[in-house]
Amino acid sequence: MINNNIDEEEDNFLDKNLKDILINTLQTTNEELNYLEKLIKIQKNKINSFDGNRSQPSIVIDNFLYHGDLGHAIDMDLLLDLHIQHIINVCDCSLDDQIKQVFHVLWIKDLEDSLSSDIRKYFDQTNQFLEECKMKNEKVLVHCQAGISRSSSIVLAYLIRYHNDSLEKAYEYLLDRRPIAAPNYNFLIQLIRYEKELKNKSQLDDKQNPIKPIKDTTDF
């Protein structure tokens, strides 16, 4: 899972001060830092393919999982056109009553995009919500303010729980569909630990629920 031989270019993604912060605040191990370096390198290589803002949310899993920002979540016409029925809101503000009356909304509130926030405690709840939507063949939008950090973490937690055998593969998959997906380093560390936790419990289900190819990977 983790490559301990980081080349010089990869090692430059985290400077000493940032590493010290991660070690002191999150008790991050050298093994976790190595894995984090690898994920950052993957993300840096993919983000260069993003050519600006898009009016449509990203299609992560065709006919099921969409990933976007607050602008998508408040656009009633867009949501109806896409046949969205459920929304996971991972930003600070509540959605309008009109949206909540039409769509089934799970609001993960009071979660800051910071190095001190605990996003792991929500993974079981959001994974269950998403899997129930999938079992009913109903579409769901996951969003935060900008669709970059908090919502990406929620999507990745779902992908590594049900569709991929590692965070690395899940992140590569997500970045192919949403190159701006970039959880903060604290969230990535928590995702690394979540992957390890699932492996220890033998709860990685990629063979049971493989992701079918999406129709169009050009929308970010």
- The CA-CA-CA angle for residues 182, 187, 191, to 5°, reads 100
- 93 counts as catalytic: no
- Spot the catalytic one: 91, 93, 133, 144: 144
Neighbouring C-alpha atoms within 13 Å toward the C-beta of 146: 12
Sequence-distant (≥ 6) Cβ neighbours of residue 27 within 8 angstroms: none
Q: Reduce the secondary structure of 94-135 to three states and give it as a string.
A: CCCHHHHHHCEEEECCCCCCCCCCCCHHHHHHHHHHHHHHHH
Q: Which residues are catalytic?
A: 144
